[in-house]
């Protein structure tokens, strides 16, 4: 067997560039590039290896380790998990800065390869700069923080360990059920050591994401339930998008007249105008979808992990008399809350069901109710986004303006705070894939970096990032990276002078307004932050507007710009859309000196009692 002598770092990069994957468009490199912030621990050996392969595997420079990882994660999501990116840092703070992003990728089941530098495997110079010394366990390093937030973790302490570690990492990232981040903590001395690797290890390999079909018995159970159902409902999750089943779901809903509600990850599987799309479900759901969930007799979770915002903390459905099926590639998701599992790919399930359910029609009254609920919601949504001339508009009114300004190919990007809830209810998707909101981990600071990753994955589509001032202040440096790379984003920055969403939640649970808005925190003076000046200093175009009319004009003007543009608008922190929505279990103190808290506690206990009764009602 012929071999080639390489350093471990060189072997890693050569292996990565040889990995390909089957996509709908044909074979493609699995790794779309490497995000790197160099320091001691990765600049010498990994930096040298990346430089040598720069024509084949592009290395991108970022400004923050966490946000470069967010960009990588967003890239993988926009690519339907068929392609991913690599993130490498030095040891110490560079590595631990990525742990939050690793958790985000893990929660959202998205592939990314983390390669943080690590301490010396030979321990000769211990303790090295930035090394965590754990005197109870000499094998512990800071990179052990990645263990609970990685689907595969390994520490590379010898060059030959790559021969096993790399195929395992690839398997984890391409497995439809176990998909998530892989971490290879790479000891810095090991990176520089040479080894005679088999040349066959670096031959081109084409991976294929498995498409598991349904078990016949599980499929029979679901088919029988649907044949008998009078009031069926499908809840579409992110698994529909990752299986590429948007058209199949649309056809199934049309053929069998089954309404569809969408989770945050599933929003955009159907366009807004689809006759059977009831929109968002759950805490941030439309009244149409939530009415349907409360009254359905058979509910099919299609590629959703059923987190609490989807289920209204399990108060929305799951009542006695309802049948819940979970179609999911993950067996652990399939049995949540005593659901009947159908463990398979979403597209496979739809194809198999279509051959068994010819002529299936729900009851006429159900179809009439669904249509009426949908029409009623559309009227409420239109009212919520309508401009009333307010000097400080609501988030909903800003969303309406942006939605009207963009074409059907646009992608909206957002993450934590109040905006995701308003977008989930109100954003009207014109083309599948036009909605990219990170709400599995609800991570502030994802927005701009996420927009960058989406634009890298889909440069042909316009990307609009909606971000609050709180998230912008947490993480804005990749705005400069978008300028550096020539990747245009249009960023709408809604300034409500603080954390408006949590301020509203604080008051809803009886608390006094405290430490969320600038005006309610300890300060010498409220800061007047010039976001336009800041954005311009990072190389972007920037403008501040007053009201919706000026916003619409600025959006039209931004469409003609060739580089990233930031549009700043002051918004009202107190207003959120009252229509739609559902209860969310947020624990309220059992005792307090504040009457408002005790009133909120009584309401909370009433909801818990109602939930308990619904669960036991025949």
DSSP state string for 11-52: HHHHHHHTEEEEETTEEEESEEEEEE---TTTTTHHHHHHHH
Only one residue has tokens 């920037």, namely 542
pLDDT for residue 618: 46
Only one residue has tokens 């009439």, namely 368
pLDDT for residue 525: 80
pLDDT for residue 617: 54
How far is Cα 195 from Cα 187, in angstroms, rounded to an integer?
15
How far is Cα 580 from Cα 575, in angstroms, rounded to an integer?
14
Only one residue has tokens 């068929």, namely 82
**DSSP assignment, residue 512?**
P
**Structure tokens that stand for 524 in this block:** 């010498």
Q: What is the mean pLDDT of each run of 10 residues along the chain (618 residues)?
A: 96 98 94 97 97 97 98 98 98 97 98 97 93 92 97 98 98 97 98 98 97 96 95 98 97 95 97 97 98 97 97 88 96 94 97 88 91 97 95 96 96 96 97 96 97 98 97 97 98 94 93 91 85 98 97 96 96 94 95 96 94 70
**Structure tokens that stand for 429 in this block:** 């998707």
pLDDT for residue 616: 61
Q: Yes or no: say if 258 and 286 are a contact pair by the CB < 8 Å rule.
A: no
Query: What does R_g of the chain's alpha carbons equal in angstroms?
Result: 25
**Residue of 271, 270, 339, 347 lying closest to 303 (CA atoms):** 347
**Residue of 179, 197, 475 lying closest to 333 (CA atoms):** 179
**Structure tokens that stand for 106 in this block:** 């893990």
Only one residue has tokens 């709400």, namely 439
């Amino acid at each position: 067997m012929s071999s080639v002598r390489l350093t471990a770092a060189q072997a890693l990069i050569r292996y990565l560039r040889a990995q390909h994957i089957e996509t709908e468009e044909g074979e493609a490199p699995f790794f779309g590039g490497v995000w790197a912030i160099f320091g001691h621990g990765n600049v010498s050996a990994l930096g040298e290896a990346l430089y040598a392969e720069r024509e084949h595997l592009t290395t991108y420079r970022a400004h923050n380790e966490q946000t470069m990882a967010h960009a990588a994660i967003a890239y993988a999501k926009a690519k339907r998990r068929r392609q991913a990116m690599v993130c490498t840092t030095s040891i110490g703070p560079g590595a631990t800065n990525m742990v939050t992003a690793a958790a985000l990728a893990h929660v959202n089941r998205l592939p990314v390869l983390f390669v943080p530098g690590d301490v010396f495997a030979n321990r000769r110079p211990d303790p090295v700069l930035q090394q965590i010394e754990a005197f109870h366990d000499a094998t512990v390093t800071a990179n052990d923080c990645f263990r609970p937030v990685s689907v595969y973790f390994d520490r590379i302490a010898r060059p030959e360990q790559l021969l096993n570690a790399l195929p395992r990492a690839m398997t984890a990232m391409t497995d439809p059920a176990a998909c998530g981040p892989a971490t290879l903590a790479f000891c810095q001395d090991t990176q520089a050591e040479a080894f005679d690797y088999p040349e066959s290890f670096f031959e081109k390999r084409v991976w294929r994401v498995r498409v598991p079909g349904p078990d016949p018995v599980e499929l029979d159970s679901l088919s029988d339930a649907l044949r008998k159902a009078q009031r069926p409902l499908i809840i579409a999750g992110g698994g529909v998008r990752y299986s590429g089943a948007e058209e199949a779901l649309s056809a199934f809903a049309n053929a069998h007249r089954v309404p569809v509600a969408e989770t945050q990850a599933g929003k955009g599987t159907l366009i807004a105008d689809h006759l059977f799309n009831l929109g968002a479900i759950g805490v941030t759901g439309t009244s149409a979808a939530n009415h349907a969930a409360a009254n359905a007799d058979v509910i099919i979770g299609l590629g959703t992990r059923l987190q609490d915002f989807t289920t209204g903390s399990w108060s929305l459905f799951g009542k006695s008399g309802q049948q819940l099926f979970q179609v999911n590639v993950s067996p652990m998701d399939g049995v949540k809350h005593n659901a009947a599992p159908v463990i398979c790919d979403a597209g496979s399930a739809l194809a198999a069901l279509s051959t068994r359910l010819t002529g299936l029609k729900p009851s006429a009254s159900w179809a009439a109710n669904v249509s009426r609920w949908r029409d009623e919601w559309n009227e409420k949504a239109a009212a919520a986004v309508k401009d009333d001339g307010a000097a400080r508009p609501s988030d909903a009114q800003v969303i309406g303006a942006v939605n009207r300004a963009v074409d059907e190919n646009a992608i909206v990007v957002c993450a934590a705070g109040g905006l995701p809830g308003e977008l989930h209810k109100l954003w009207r998707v014109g083309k599948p894939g036009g909605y990219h909101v990170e709400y599995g981990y609800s991570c502030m600071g994802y927005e701009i970096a996420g927009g960058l990753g989406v634009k890298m994955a889909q440069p042909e589509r316009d990307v609009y990032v909606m971000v609050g001032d709180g998230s912008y202040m947490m993480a804005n440096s990749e705005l400069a990276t978008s300028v550096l790379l020539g990747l245009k984003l249009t960023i709408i920055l809604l300034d409500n002078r603080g954390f408006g969403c949590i301020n509203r939640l604080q008051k809803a649970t009886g608390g006094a307004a405290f430490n969320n808005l600038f005006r309610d925190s300890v300060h010498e003076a409220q800061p007047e932050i010039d976001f336009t000046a800041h954005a311009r200093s990072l190389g972007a175009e920037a403008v501040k507007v007053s009201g919706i009319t000026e916003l619409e004009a600025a959006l039209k003007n931004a469409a003609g710009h060739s580089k990233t543009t930031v549009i700043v608008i002051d918004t009202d922190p107190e207003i959120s859309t009252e229509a739609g929505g559902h209860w969310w279990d947020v624990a309220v103190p059992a005792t307090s000196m504040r009457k408002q808290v005790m009133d909120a506690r009584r309401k909370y206990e009433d909801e818990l009692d109602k939930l308990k009764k619904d669960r036991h009602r025949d």
